[in-house]
Amino acid sequence: MNKNKLIGYNMNEGENNRQFDDIVKIVEGAKERAYRKVNEELILMYQEVGKYISEKSKEASYGSNFVDNVAEFFSENYPELKGFTRRGLYRMKQFYELYKDDEKVSPLVTQLSWTNHLKIMSGAKSKEERRFYIELSIKERYSKRELERQMDSGYYERYILSNGESLPAIQKIKNETNNLFMDRYVLEFLDAPKIENERDFQKSVLENLKNFILEIGKDFSFIGNEYRVQVGKHDYYIDLLFYHRGLSCLVAFELKMGEFKPEYTGKMNLYLEALDRGVKKETENPSVGVILCTSKDDEVVEYTLSRSLSPTMVSEYTLKLIDKNLLQRKLKEYAEIAEENNE
């Protein structure tokens, strides 16, 4: 290859690479299917081993040291196999016993990695919580780290509490948005000591955008910050603008320091109307607003939203992880109240 050809090749390298996008998609698709198949077979193997151990452990002839004997056998004869330790075998047994009679979960278990299964089995306190995290992990395609973060932040408890009965105007908005938004968000990944005002708040969110989207939901696509909308001769700037695939609409986020104030809703209504008139496409649904505050009085929110024409959710946020024991106590109280109302 002569020098001129070499120079020409380098100049067009990016263009040439783009010509092979379709081939790359084929290769990546095959790799993804292969990974899923390997994972499926791995989970089925653990399930079968767990079933075998569970059933044999009940037979007196195998003795109380059955699992120890199995672990020793694998250690001596198949040292290259990982996970077949005493602890690993008990986890397989637990895995089988937890889901063998669960008709809803059993068909789903092969869609999740073993590391995620281990986290759910060790961290979830109930059948309902396990099912919740399994379905959520599959839907959002959580990595091990992402799942750990959601469980550590009490996502299950917060989700259940957010979906409890609310005051009428608040409940109406929840229904309109398919209970998508939380009453409380945990933003512990932000650099709290450096957040002194709303501009710092916005900057920290942008620096940690991946984690922010993990908290609010992976169906959100980021469009921009300080997003300009024009009304008459005036320019207004929305803190954060997203698009939500499930709702098929634009979602405006306003970041506030301190307690919710009624005037925040009026400004959000202006933003949403400007988006619907000048930005929203005909095929999209009306825009939705989310006002994030450090605290709120639900009765003030109810009064403010009762006359609002645009769907706006007012949510609290905290910059540190919430004590899971506190969330679990609140969830227990919620369950007891719901039970009393049904009687």
Write the single-letter amino acid at 123. Answer: G
Asked if 125 and 72 sit in the same domain, the reply is yes
Q: Which domain holds residue 102?
A: 19-153
Please tell me the predicted confidence (pLDDT) of residue 6: 40
Count of structural domains within the chain: 2
pLDDT at residue 326, as a whole number: 82
Determine contact, residues 245/221, Cβ cutoff 8 Å: yes
332 assigned to some structural domain: no
State pTM to two decimals.
0.82
What does the block give as tokens for 7? 């120079």
pLDDT at res. 17: 60
Residue 9's pLDDT is 40
> How far is residue 87's CA from residue 226's CA, in Å, rounded to a whole number?
52
Flag whether pLDDT at 3 surpasses 60. no
Residue 334 scores a pLDDT above 80? no
Q: For the residues 146-153, what does the mean pLDDT come to?
A: 96
pLDDT tier for residue 223 given thresholds of 50, 70 and 90: very high
Residues 254 and 127 in one domain: no
**Do residue 44 and residue 23 come from a single domain?**
yes
Are residues 44 and 189 both part of a single domain?
no
Q: In the predicted model, is pLDDT for residue 176 greater than 80?
A: yes
Q: pLDDT band for 8, please (50, 70, 90 cuts).
A: very low
What CATH number corresponds to the domain at position 184?
3.40.1350.10
- Give a yes or no: residue 296 inside a domain: yes
Residue 163 corresponds to which tokens in the numbers above?
């979906």
**Paired tokens of 206:** 């942008």
On the question of pLDDT at 272 being above 70, the answer is yes
Using pLDDT thresholds of 50, 70 and 90, give the confidence band for residue 165: confident
